Amino acid sequence: METVSENTCFGGQQGVYTHASEACGCDMTFGLFLPEEARDAPVPVLWYLSGLTCTHQNAMEKAGAQLWAAEQGLAVVFPDTSPRGEGVADDEAFDLGQGAGFYVNATRSPWAPHFAMWDYVAEELPALIGTEFALDMDRQSITGHSMGGHGALTLAMGLKGRFRSVSAFAPICHPTTSDWGRKQFTAYLGEDEAAWAVHDATLLMRAQGFDGPILTDTGTKDQFFGLLGTHDFAHAVAERGQPATLRLQPGYDHSYFFVQSFMEDHMAFHAEALHAAAA
């Protein structure tokens, strides 16, 4: 692992690191904010998964997370959204290939050799940061934006017992019925929709739910509202009786100006779960 940069921020440190990823077969870059408390003892970890076109950098610079993470004593990890580089398959469309990994392990050509973002975020990167930094990997929560909200919800439900709480900003909630989902799952996983189900938050909610609290925010003027499946996820949550707070925020769109506006709430939500006495 190599250090790209480390900047003092809100009394803690915002770092950027690269490492050779086995899962993705390429160098991967991630951001990690460590609050001041990490100098003394391991701190809880919040994962922030980003959306289409993003690298590790966008949320790290624009989501306004560090202020509240410092206040709550949480580390925040900002993974990239796909493998990258020469020799890694790509597509001209912004919503397929590099920058659009969709947090799945691709099984189809030309994506399979590198596009293993599920394994990367679920296994390889946690193992790395748990070794390299003062993080308490027994206390993890997860959030994300748009495609990253999809990732947060599906990882939280798919990895039982891993995350204490999950939240999302404008998440893609029902990708198996959306143009943000069907196109990518067909490319990465093939046409058999049975393989898609474990990557659809609404289907996972119907099938099993999440053993912890859920918070989502979505703007009523989100320019991609029709692609998100917010209503289907809300229906599944209500049908299951899943503990959750699903909020529609008047006037907000899909941008980081929306995300930062509700970051304080999401950080406080996760901090409550992460600072609670162990279950």
Among 48, 258, 270, 273, binds a second copy (CB under 8 A): 258
Does residue 51 touch a second copy according to CB under 8 A? no
Please identify, using beta-carbon distances, which residue of 62 and 183 lies nearer to a second copy: 62
Among 11, 85, 87, 243, binds a second copy (CB under 8 A): 11
Does residue 261 touch a second copy according to CB under 8 A? yes
Question: How crowded is residue 5: how many other Cβ atoms within 10 Å of its Cβ?
Answer: 9
Does residue 253 touch a second copy according to CB under 8 A? yes
Among 197, 255, 265, 272, binds a second copy (CB under 8 A): 255
Does residue 247 touch a second copy according to CB under 8 A? no
Question: How crowded is residue 106: how many other Cβ atoms within 10 Å of its Cβ?
Answer: 24
Minimum gap (Å) between residue 58 Cβ and a second copy: 9
Residues labelled as active-site residues: 146, 222, 254
- Residue 36 gets which letter from DSSP? G
Does residue 67 touch a second copy according to CB under 8 A? yes
Say if residues 185 and 196 touch (Cβ distance below 8 Å): yes
Edge-to-edge order in the sheet of strand 26-34: 2-9, 12-21, 26-34, 75-79, 43-49, 135-144, 163-169, 214-219, 244-249
Distances (CA, A) of 148 to 97, 167, 227: 15, 10, 14
Say if residues 82 and 115 touch (Cβ distance below 8 Å): yes
Say if residues 24 and 83 touch (Cβ distance below 8 Å): yes
Does residue 61 touch a second copy according to CB under 8 A? yes
The H or E element that residue 256 is part of is: helix 256-261
Please identify, using beta-carbon distances, which residue of 62 and 108 lies nearer to a second copy: 62
* The pair of three-digit structure tokens given for residue 125, joined into one six-digit string: 């990167």
Pattern of binders to a second copy over 190-229, x per CB under 8 A? -----------------------------x-x--------
Minimum gap (Å) between residue 195 Cβ and a second copy: 37
Does residue 57 touch a second copy according to CB under 8 A? no
Residues that bind a second copy (CB under 8 A): 7-11, 14, 61-62, 64, 66-67, 219, 221, 251-253, 255-258, 260-261, 264
